[in-house]
Chains A and B, each alone.
Chain A
Amino acid sequence: MNGQWQRCDIVVADDDEGDRYLIQKAMEDIGVNGDVHFFEDGQLLVERLTRQLTAPSNESRLPCLILLDLNMPRMDGRETLKIIKNHPDLKEIPVVVLTNSKNQDDIDGTYRNGANSFFTKPLNYSGLVDLMKLLKTYWLETVSLPQRAV
């Protein structure tokens, strides 16, 4: 987690070990260009992102996509999202919420706070692989991203 961030890295904040494993495996299966970095809660993610901002300019790259779980200890995804989207230098990073929740209040709330997409974690592994493919196609291969991410 301390390595330098490359072009188009993806960061994932999820407290559940099993989910981190599944996401990593799905990313491996579909093959993504950048590295995937995992954080166990929102606080660790925010700390790393802000540290990234103060790094020497050639290393101050930001991830091109954040996958954010909502329910985590210490700092949950709702709080993390607010911090990122209210931070002048972090708010440009696309944040995709990937959670166990199906709750409309969560959906409404995260969009209101600036989330770029909301997904409920699929029941099965192949569903997760499909979702990762979709995210890769859209965020990594189709849209244009802010300068510091690429």
Chain B
Amino acid sequence: MSPERLPPDFRAIFESLPGNYLVLLPDLTMVAVSQARLRATMTTLEETIGRNLFDLFPDNPDDPAATGVANLKASLARVLATRQSDTMAVQKYDIRRPESEGGGFEERFWSPMNSPVLDANGEVAYIIHRVEDVTEFVRLKQKGIEQSRLTDELRAQVEQTEMEVYLRAQELQVANQRLRELDRLKTEFFANVSHELRTPLTLILAPVEALLASIGDASSTAAPRDILQTVHNNAIRLLQMINGLLDISKASAGKTEIRRETIQIVELTQSLVWDFRTMMHRKSITESLTINVPQPWVEMDRYLYERILFNLLSNAVKFTPAGGRISVDLDVSNGQLTLKVSDTGIGIASDDLPKVFEKFHQVEGSSTRRFEGTGLGLALVKEFARLLDGTVEVASDIGTGSTFTLRCIAPAAAESAAAESATASATTDSADLRLPEPIVAELATPVAEDTDRPRIVVAEDNVELAAFIADLLSPLCSVQLASDGADALRLTRRLRPDLVLSDVMMPRMDGIQLTREIKADAATSGIPVVLLTAMTNRDSLLKGWEAGADDYLFKPFHPKELEARVRSLLNAREWQKKGEAYRQQRDALEQFTHIASHDLREPLRKVVSFVEIFKSRNPDLDATSARYLDTVANGAARMYHLLDALIDYARIDRSQYSPKAVELRQIVDEVTRDLGDQIETAGAEIVVGELPEIAAHPAQLSMLFRNLIGNSLKYRSETRKPVIRVSARRSGTEWIVSVADNGIGFEPEHREKIFIMFERLHVQERFSGSGMGLAICRRIIEQHGGRMWAESEMDRGAIFSFSLPAMPVPTGATHA
């Protein structure tokens, strides 16, 4: 047994601590001090102990701006009042130089922290004042050019990062709002497009069906019926396309809900294949259905399964030539469903195989064939397979045919197979539980795989410190721990966290190298990296910046500081991710519009053309039939113009041409010339005031004025001679351009509503139009960095105004 030891000499230990420590009584009398601090402040133990802090450390009388004393007093007062630690910002607090060293004051910078030591009653017994001497660091920062270019870059980067973090935190809110707005717009847009396209479609379908029924078999010749049938087929195609487009946009917007119910999978599959038999037989296609399903009752979303099989079958029928063969194979075993649809069709080139499931990859003007065949229908299949937690694959040889395979879970519904389905889910579970190996410490509160929470990877080889950090941050985010740089890199690549917090000194791979690796990989370079380092280690500081570290945290850090820093970086990161989501959503919206408008045009053209041919072949049609045909033609024309407007709308910010100097006057003159007929019919007068030269896309501005002037002509008053005034005035750095009319106007409360797509304030019959004109105008102006608004009162005319940035000082190179 070891002999009884004396208690440790705490004073000696304290005094020899490497840090700068000073212990104060609540009345600010100094009672203990570390040697390091004595050295740093050029003072002695004797002159310190028993003296008041500020007697020994007054402000530098030669520095009238000195705030060291005042700030430190305030901090100490806070500690006494709150009984909590108080971290101060970096302070300039000059130190009196001993007479032996020349006297006067020496410029010094400190990073202080004051912590209370409480007695048994919870009262402050002592205050520990700890400081870091950061003079050298600050001087380095201040020295400027000749000292080191690196320092300048360092400072710039620090400032920039801080500013960005601050700004991003602010913008996060704005971005969130924009995203919500866009989401709403998208949903509304799809709903509106659906409604707008379906209405004229009804006008096409219903009369054609009525005509087909009336002609019946009694028709004199078969030919007119064929033509009408073609019209009908094309209208049905349109309807299917629109339904398909809406299906897929709903699916990708996550609006399709999964409803698993108990279904008889064999019967369902048979009946769907049966539905296609007529169509197959017409093309002399033979079909075969192979079923290997020991237990036909399964849990499955009926709608999704039906849509998948429907689309695979229509795809197969479309691409299989006459005399070909289509086989359907269904296998359900161990809760796993495999559905194969094979054809002897034209096949798909291997280069195109990866593309067949993409919905929006097609360039503008993609063909109907692609749209229906391997475009939308298959994109839908993929989307729906994903919703079923399944996959869909394709194998194909040119000229031989293709095989599409759907694999998804289909748990048996009856009890006999319950055990099997349990095994199935157990396997899934264990797959989910394959956690990253290098975790060295479990979180205090285990966090479920929660995708909504931000994730951070902490690389720290000190297990206790790592656990401490995890504890501290787990209320903010889900924390994954790595024991060294290599583990952290692996985790970062796998998890794509929102933040990496790393120690600098670590075995295997240090924090600097880790930063370099993360920043070098495009997939991870956007993830902010925060390095934990000792402030005094300037070398690693600079290396870290060079490697691309986003921020530093100096050890030892205050928990609050860590929390605040992480919180603000996570905010910034969230903003960044929101920005990406916003862009993606905007692109999807545009592409949807584009594909929709281009592909729908083709069947529509057929409807219009064949109606025309039918009419010309049947000159002596009865009045009712003739009226039906006119209804069809009108519906089609309305749809066609809507599609054109949609294309215009989608085209606005896809313009790849850079803006150039444009004389607005010239644009307005061109537009009024183009609208000549309409202006004459309306008996309108166009008054154009002085207009500026502006940097813009001429074609877009032309579209803008065409819409605005056309709008004013359309909504003219029947009792007044229409007068439309185009004018501009300068306001600061922008021009305000107005188009004012004396038409029927609108209620002031509708002044925002009119810019929303498909919002019509007036009865359809009287005013035709796509309902997109003003939405297009506003988008054009926003694209040019301006704003657009409208003012009106019922029957008092309307004023549409927009702002456009004024051109910078003329370069002198303007030409007509």
Query: Which residues of A are interface residues toward B (Cβ below 8 A)?
Result: 15-16, 18-19, 22, 25, 70-74, 76, 99-103, 105-106, 121-126, 128
Contacts and interface: CB of A to CB of B under 8 A. Distances in A.
A106 B369 contact: no
A23 B793 CA distance: 52
Nearest to A21: B230
B366 A71 contact: yes
Interface stretch (B325-333, B452-460, B598-606): B598-606
B612 interface: yes
A71 B609 contact: no
A16 B364 contact: no
Contacts of A100: 365, 367-368, 598, 601-602, 605
B367 A125 contact: no
B330 to A, nearest CB: 29
Contacts of A103: 363-365, 598
B598 A123 contact: no
A76 B234 CA distance: 23
Q: Which of B230, B234, B613, B637 has the most CB of A within 10 A?
A: B613
23 contacts: A15-B367, A15-B369, A16-B368, A16-B602, A18-B230, A19-B606, A22-B613, A72-B367, A73-B369, A74-B346, A101-B364, A102-B365, A102-B647, A103-B365, A105-B363, A121-B605, A123-B605, A123-B608, A124-B609, A125-B612, A125-B613, A126-B612, A128-B609
A101 B234 contact: no
What are the 9 closest A-B residue pairs judged by CB atoms, nearest first? A71-B367, A101-B365, A125-B609, A125-B612, A103-B364, A103-B365, A124-B608, A18-B606, A100-B602
B640 interface: yes
A100 to B, nearest CB: 5
Contacts of B230: 18
B281 interface: no
Nearest to B398: A74
A26 to B, nearest CB: 9
Contacts of A71: 365-370
Contact of A124 (B366, B367, B612): B612
Interface string B632-643: 000001001000
Interface in B355-384: 363-370, 373
Interface residues of B, number: 26
Contacts of B368: 16, 71, 100
Contacts of A105: 363-364
B364 A18 contact: no
Nearest to B227: A21
Specify the main secondary structure of chain A where it touches its partner.
loop
A74 B351 CA distance: 12
Nearest to A121: B605
A25 B612 CA distance: 12
Contact of B613 (A25, A72, A76): A25
A141 to B, nearest CB: 25
A105 B598 CA distance: 14
Given A123-B604, A124-B609, 12 more contacts: A15-B369, A22-B606, A22-B613, A25-B613, A71-B366, A71-B370, A73-B367, A100-B367, A100-B598, A122-B605, A123-B637, A123-B640
A122 B368 CA distance: 16
A19 B640 CA distance: 17
A40 to B, nearest CB: 11
Contacts of A101: 364-365, 598
A83 to B, nearest CB: 16
Contact of B364 (A15, A106, A124): A106
B760 to A, nearest CB: 23
Contacts of A15: 367, 369
A18 to B, nearest CB: 5
Contacts of B606: 18-19, 22
Given A74-B346, A121-B605, A123-B608, A18 B234 contact: yes
A18 B365 CA distance: 18
A99 B365 contact: yes
A28 B365 CA distance: 28
A22 B610 CA distance: 8
Nearest to B647: A102
A70 B346 contact: no
Nearest to A107: B365
Contacts of A126: 612
A100 B346 CA distance: 23
B223 to A, nearest CB: 12
A85 to B, nearest CB: 20
A121 B605 CA distance: 8
A72 B368 CA distance: 9
Q: Which of B373, B608, B609, B647 has the most CB of A within 10 A?
A: B609
A71 B346 CA distance: 16
Contacts of A73: 346, 367, 369-370, 373
Nearest to A126: B612
Interface string B471-501: 0000000000000000000000000000000
Contacts of A16: 368-369, 602
A72 B369 CA distance: 7
Interface string B585-602: 000000000000010011
A44 to B, nearest CB: 12
Contacts of A70: 365, 367
A126 B611 CA distance: 11
Interface in B631-664: 637, 640, 647
Contacts of B363: 103, 105
Contacts of A74: 346
B609 A22 contact: yes
Contacts of A128: 609
A128 B373 CA distance: 26
Contacts of B608: 123-125
A73 B606 CA distance: 20
Nearest to A105: B364
Contacts of B613: 22, 25, 125
A45 B234 CA distance: 27
Nearest to A74: B346
A7 B382 CA distance: 51
Nearest to B603: A18
Most buried by B among A73, A105, A106, A128: A73
Contacts of B364: 101, 103, 105-106
Contact of B365 (A19, A72, A106, A123): A106
Nearest to B594: A103
Nearest to B374: A73
Nearest to B606: A18
B153 to A, nearest CB: 43
Nearest to B614: A125
B221 to A, nearest CB: 16
A123 B607 CA distance: 9
A119 to B, nearest CB: 13
Interface-centre pick from B366, B373, B605, B608 (highest chain A CB count, 10 A): B605
Nearest to A99: B365
A16 to B, nearest CB: 7
A36 B756 CA distance: 49
A58 B367 CA distance: 38
Contacts of A125: 608-610, 612-613
A15 B367 CA distance: 10
A32 B326 CA distance: 42
Contacts of B602: 16, 100
A45 B647 CA distance: 31
A6 B604 CA distance: 35
Nearest to B233: A18
Nearest to B371: A71
Nearest to A128: B609
Contacts of A124: 605, 608-609, 612
Chain B CB count within 10 A is highest, among A16, A25, A70, A72, for: A16
